[in-house]
Amino acid sequence: MSVMEPILPVVVIDSPDAAEGLGRALLAGGIRQVEVTLRTAEALPALRILASVPGLRAGAGTVLTADQVHAAVEAGAEFVVSPGLDEGVVAACQRYGVPAIPGVVTATELMRARSLGLRTVKFFPAEQAGGVAAVSALSAVFADMAFVPTGGIGADRAAVYAALPSVVAVGGSWMVPRDAVASGQFARIEALCRQAVEVFQ
């Protein structure tokens, strides 16, 4: 997914009422993309609203089935992120023409992703699965693969991942805390986004 930007906020959203304010806070903080995880009953309605915010690229995360791919694309998702590699999910994304970013940890999973025509994968759960050292080791062997490390990464570790040439984006929720989203603390989210952008610059 070559148009991906360096920071990918991973959002768990409990009410679509928060979606528009969240989208505006992300943009005001200098971030133009968001992954809405399909972990709550209101995720798809929220995704639909975020996908309609001008200038914001919205995708779906925690996508586990081909049916969820269909629902996410119908809601406006421009990319699909999964915690693992499922060929049915990848095939559905390819049918709809949206990028699939499956989660991988091992060289075997990377080889499967590569054989499916993918060149960008999520390394998940990043911190628990070996962190920067693991991404570096895999990158040395799979030089044509790009990584989006996600999982357990906070503001203090994000820049270390971003410094790796094979990393195209770092995913995380440190700039979009679930409690801040739920309570409408959009000024706080904007400030956290600004701080994240400054670190990456």
Residue 2: pLDDT over 60:
no
pLDDT (0 to 100) of residue 1: 45
In this structure, what CATH number is given to the domain that contains residue 47? 3.20.20.70
Residue 138 lies in a domain: yes
| The dihedral sign for the CA sequence 104, 120, 80, 154 | positive
Domain that includes residue 86, residue range: 7-200
pLDDT at 46 > cutoff 50: yes
- The pLDDT assigned to 170 comes to 98
Report the predicted TM-score, pTM, of the whole model to 2 decimal places: 0.96
Does 98 fall in a domain? yes
Q: Is residue 123 part of a domain?
A: yes
Q: Is residue 28 part of a domain?
A: yes
End-to-end Cα separation, the chain, in angstroms: 21
What is residue 47's predicted lDDT score, i.e. its pLDDT?
98
pLDDT digits (tens, 9 = 90+) for 119-176: 999 999 999 999 999 999 999 999 999 999 999 999 999 999 999 999 999 999 999 9
Q: Which of 74, 87, 122, 198 is catalytic?
A: 122
Please report whether residue 1 resides in a domain: no
Q: Note whether residue 2 is domain-resident.
A: no
Binning the chain into helix, strand and coil, the percentages to the nearest 5 are 45, 15, 40
Catalytic residue flag (residue 74): no
Specify whether 35 is catalytic. Answer: yes
d(CA 96, CA 59): 13
Predicted local distance difference test score (pLDDT) of residue 200: 84
Mean per-residue pLDDT of the chain:
97
Q: How many domains does the chain have?
A: 1
